[in-house]
Structure 1
Amino acid sequence: MLTYRPGETVAHRLDARSKLACQFGFAVAAFAQPTPRRLLALAGLAGVVLLAGRLSPVTVLRGYWFVFVILLLAPLSAALSVTQPWVDPERGVASLLAVSRVALVLVVGAVYVRTTPVRESRAVIQRYVPGRTGQALGVGVALTFRFLPVLRRDLLTVREAIQARGGERRSVVDRAKRIAVVGLARSLSRSDRLSLALRARCFAWNPTPPEMSFGRWDYPVVALGVLLACWPLAGLL
């Protein structure tokens, strides 16, 4: 799972708000009309985004391999049939175009996660979503970004420990049960420790947000996001 890493790339220097605006416009353009030509253009733009964040496509595949596997199963299940014709390529292609837009949005989102500090994402949410709702969303996003990678590492550690003790000789159901039970116990333990740590550090619902300001590259990125969001309207004119 990808997490934030400090760096000096172009994407790191951008304001979180401009990156979110561009990501929103990209998602609108991708989901509006998934034509092959449009998806090819968006794939090229996603490649530019990867270059801006110096993030390898292989790293994205490793971080979200399970999601990509599920996405690839959709075209296969759509193309195959239990009755004649056994294979329908047209349905498979239509499904492939549909899942391709999800994959592209996921790639752009991965660059955002890798290049944006969690506290900046929380600050943006709490700034533009008023009241307790924004505070709750901000805290939820911050804890999710920080907590999920830790839980994933715990599950991997449990799986490696089972394999080191000859767990490959056990059934898949037994191994899954052991991983689930131990993983749940560790999750509850970490939740208790997290709650205690928040109280010990005088957790604040509305902390002082980090300083955020637009640079010279943020304005073109916001303009690109607006253009992408308006792109589907061009076909209606």
Structure 2
Amino acid sequence: MTLAYRPTGAFAESLDPRAKLGFQAAFAVAAFAHTTPRGLAVLTVVAALALAAARTSPTWVVSEFRLALPFLVGSPLLAGFALGPPWFVPGDAVAPLLASYRVLLVLAVGAAYVRTTPARDSRAAVQHLVPGRPGQFLGMGIAFVFRFLPVLQADLRSIRSAMAARLGDERPLRERMQLVATAGLARAFERADRFALALRARCFAWNPTLPPLSVGVRDVPVLAGTAALVAWSLA
């Protein structure tokens, strides 16, 4: 599976996208305001509730962001590394470790939003929140990213599968990375050209008819959680 909208009947799918965007922003602010183990423990519970509402597995989130894991894991290891005995200082690695875990929690909540929100709804939410041409430009960009990113991910997986079928996984790591990057960039540029042609063929409009948005009773818990996170961040 890719990081894209997948209708599963989850509770989060029926929520207003503006409420979900506000919750994401409040969660990110709270994550950067409370960096202690106790604060991150509270945020872990909140992130778990968000994933449950989106019917998204934490294991899937870790797998989807596996390319970022070396940076998240490597940062604490590098911070704790010493050039002499004892070679590794655990105390120096604590702060980077908490920061990496904080980033992973923010990514998890973001993944829950993407899995439960169609690209058109995200564009409508942004254009409702940001008026005028800037909102149209931002909404258009978000919609394009949400539609284009899963395609690029699928292309990279197909490239890696083709390499493995030809015993390319036995090549040195540097050579494999070069081949995947080169083929991936070539496929991305090809996709971009076809995408631009498709937009022109369909008479792309800056201000299309967007789906109606309305805040309902189901959004009340999300709005209350957003307010609580903001108040907690300011406390």
Query: TM-score normalised to the size of structure 2?
Result: 0.93
Looking at structure 2, the residues matched to 176 and 60 of structure 1 have their Cα atoms a distance apart, in angstroms, of 23
Deviation at 1:85, TM superposition (A): 4.3
| Higher mean displacement: 157-166 or 102-111 | 157-166
Looking at structure 1, the residues matched to 125 and 143 of structure 2 have their Cα atoms a distance apart, in angstroms, of 11
Alignment pair present for 1:224 and 2:216: no
Q: Could you tell me which residue of structure 2 aligns to residue 23 of structure 1?
A: 24
Deviation at 1:7, TM superposition (A): 2.4
Code of the residue aligned with 2:159 in structure 1: it is V
* Residues 114-137 of structure 1 deviation map (CA, whole Å, 9 limit, x = unaligned): 001111111111122222222111
Deviation at 1:184, TM superposition (A): 2.3
* Residues 50-76 of structure 1 deviation map (CA, whole Å, 9 limit, x = unaligned): 111111111111111122332111111
Code of the residue aligned with 1:83 in structure 2: it is G
The total of aligned residue pairs comes to: 234
Secondary structure at the counterpart of residue 122 of structure 1: helix
Looking at structure 2, the residues matched to 168 and 23 of structure 1 have their Cα atoms a distance apart, in angstroms, of 38
Q: Could you tell me which residue of structure 2 aligns to residue 51 of structure 1?
A: 52
Looking at structure 2, the residues matched to 180 and 224 of structure 1 have their Cα atoms a distance apart, in angstroms, of 41
Looking at structure 2, the residues matched to 69 and 175 of structure 1 have their Cα atoms a distance apart, in angstroms, of 17
| Higher mean displacement: 165-174 or 70-79 | 165-174
Looking at structure 1, the residues matched to 169 and 224 of structure 2 have their Cα atoms a distance apart, in angstroms, of 54
Query: Over aligned residues, Cα RMSD in angstroms?
Result: 1.6
Q: Could you tell me which residue of structure 1 aligns to residue 132 of structure 2?
A: 131
Alignment pair present for 1:99 and 2:100: yes
Deviation at 1:178, TM superposition (A): 2.9
Code of the residue aligned with 2:201 in structure 1: it is A
Q: Is the 8 A contact 1:24 1:229 kept in 2?
A: no
Secondary structure at the counterpart of residue 65 of structure 1: coil
Alignment pair present for 1:2 and 2:3: yes
Looking at structure 1, the residues matched to 184 and 117 of structure 2 have their Cα atoms a distance apart, in angstroms, of 28
Looking at structure 1, the residues matched to 69 and 30 of structure 2 have their Cα atoms a distance apart, in angstroms, of 20
* Residues 147-169 of structure 1 deviation map (CA, whole Å, 9 limit, x = unaligned): 11111211221222222223244
Deviation at 1:174, TM superposition (A): 3.5
Looking at structure 2, the residues matched to 180 and 89 of structure 1 have their Cα atoms a distance apart, in angstroms, of 35
Q: Could you tell me which residue of structure 2 aligns to residue 163 of structure 1?
A: 164
Counterparts in 2 of 1:173 and 1:97: CA distance versus 1, 3 Å: closer
Counterparts in 2 of 1:95 and 1:184: CA distance versus 1, 3 Å: closer
Q: Could you tell me which residue of structure 2 aligns to residue 108 of structure 1?
A: 109
Looking at structure 1, the residues matched to 22 and 116 of structure 2 have their Cα atoms a distance apart, in angstroms, of 15
Query: TM-score normalised to the size of structure 1?
Result: 0.92
Secondary structure at the counterpart of residue 35 of structure 2: coil
Q: Identity, % of aligned pairs?
A: 51
Looking at structure 1, the residues matched to 136 and 130 of structure 2 have their Cα atoms a distance apart, in angstroms, of 8
Q: Could you tell me which residue of structure 1 aligns to residue 146 of structure 2?
A: 145
| Higher mean displacement: 13-22 or 93-102 | 93-102
Secondary structure at the counterpart of residue 68 of structure 2: helix
| Structure 2: stretches of 5+ with no match in the other structure | none
Deviation at 1:217, TM superposition (A): 1.8
Secondary structure at the counterpart of residue 84 of structure 2: coil
| Structure 1: stretches of 5+ with no match in the other structure | none
